[in-house]
Amino acid sequence: MTVTATVGEELEAVEPAAVRLTGVTKTFGKGGVPVLDGIDLSVAPGEFVCLLGASGCGKSTLLNLIAGLDPASSGLIELPGKGSRPGHAALMFQESALFPWLTAGRNVELALKLRGVRAKAERREEAQRLLGLVRLGSAYDKRVHELSGGMRQRVALARSLAQQADVLLMDEPFAALDAITRDVLHEELVKLWSETGLTVIFVTHNVREAARLGQRVILLSSRPGRIAREWRVEIPQPRRIEDAAVTDLTRQITAELHKEISRHGN
C-alpha cells in the first residue's frame, strides 16, 4: 500500500489505484472553453467503472487523456502500474479498427509483435489463447469481412488484451451492435473481467448498459465536463438487463441525467 506524509504529521494511508486523476482539465485551442474541468477520479485495481453523460461532455476526451493520446491542459494523470513497471492503458473504440487484409489471428499477433514478442510460434500460440478467451478460438484464420460485427469487436478485445495493459479503456464498444449481440457481449465481458481481474473504464450513452455492467457509475456534467454524481452499485454479478434491481437503478440514473441535461440546456 502507498502511504503519504508531511513533516510532523502521522502517515496517512492512501488507497491503491490503477488510475488516479487529480484536477484534470482539458481545453482545446487558445482561450477555448474547457471540455473537462477539475476532474478528480481514482479507480481501484480490478474495478469496473462506467462513465455516462450527454453528448459532448468529454467522456471520450477523458479516455484519450488516460490513454496518453492527448495531453491534459492541467492536472495530473497517474497509472501507477505494478512494482517498478509503469502503468499503461489499452483503448478499445466503438469501431473494431481491425486491419482488413489480416486474419483475426494476425490482427492479434500484430499487437503482440508491437509489445515485443519476437518468436512467431509464441505469438501464434498467445493469439490463439486470447481468441479463445473471447470465444473465437476457431476464427484464427478468418478474414475481417468474414466476421460479424460482434465477432469483430471480440477480436478487437483480444487485441487489447494482447497489450497486457493495466487498464482497459472501452469507448462505447457495443453501441453499433444489435440488442441481442450486445446482450451476449455484456455477459462475456463480465465473465472475462471476473476471470482476469482487469481494471475497466467503460464509456456509454446507454444508462441500462451502465447499470448492468458497472461496479461504479459516474455521471459527467455537460461542458465543461465535471463529475456530477456517482453511484456505487451493490447488485451482484452476473446481472441481467431486465433484472428489477437493474431497472430501478436505471430509473434513478436516468432521472439525474435528465436533470443534468436540463440544467445545461442540451
pLDDT tens digits along 127-147:
999 999 999 999 999 999 999
Mean of all residue pLDDT scores within the chain: 89
Q: Which helix (H) or strand (E) holds 35?
A: strand 34-43
The band of 265, judged by pLDDT with boundaries at 50, 70 and 90, is low
pLDDT in tens, 228-249: 999 999 999 999 989 999 999 9
Average pLDDT over residues 53-74: 93
Q: Is 188 exposed, middle or buried (0-12, 13-18, 19+ CB in 10 A)?
A: middle
- What is the rounded CA–CA span in Å between residue 30 and residue 105? 44
- What residue spans in the chain does CATH classification 3.40.50.300 cover? 47-72+167-266
pLDDT at res. 264: 67
- Tell me the residue type at 84: S
Q: Please check the confidence at residue 4 and state whether its pLDDT lies above 50.
A: no
pLDDT at res. 123: 96
Q: Which helix (H) or strand (E) holds 230?
A: strand 227-232
- What is the rounded CA–CA span in Å between residue 214 and residue 233? 7
Q: Which of 129, 62, 132, 52 is nearest to 91 (CA)?
A: 62
pLDDT at res. 3: 26
Q: CATH assignment of 47-72+167-266?
A: 3.40.50.300
Task: Say if CB 220 and CB 51 are below 8 A apart.
Answer: yes
E-strand spans in 68-108? 74-78, 89-92
Q: Residue 179 CA to chain centroid, in angstroms?
A: 20
pLDDT in tens, 36-53: 999 999 999 999 999 999
pLDDT in tens, 191-222: 999 999 999 999 999 999 999 999 999 999 98
pLDDT at res. 193: 94
Rounded to two decimals, the pTM is: 0.90
Task: Compute CA distances 128 → 93, 102, 103, 105, whole Å.
Answer: 22, 15, 12, 7
Close Cβ partners of 230 (under 8 Å, ≥ 6 residues apart): 216, 217, 218, 219
Q: Which of 93, 40, 44, 46 is nearest to 67 (CA)?
A: 93
Q: Which of 237, 148, 243, 235 is nearest to 192 (CA)?
A: 237
- What is the rounded CA–CA span in Å between residue 28 and residue 169? 22
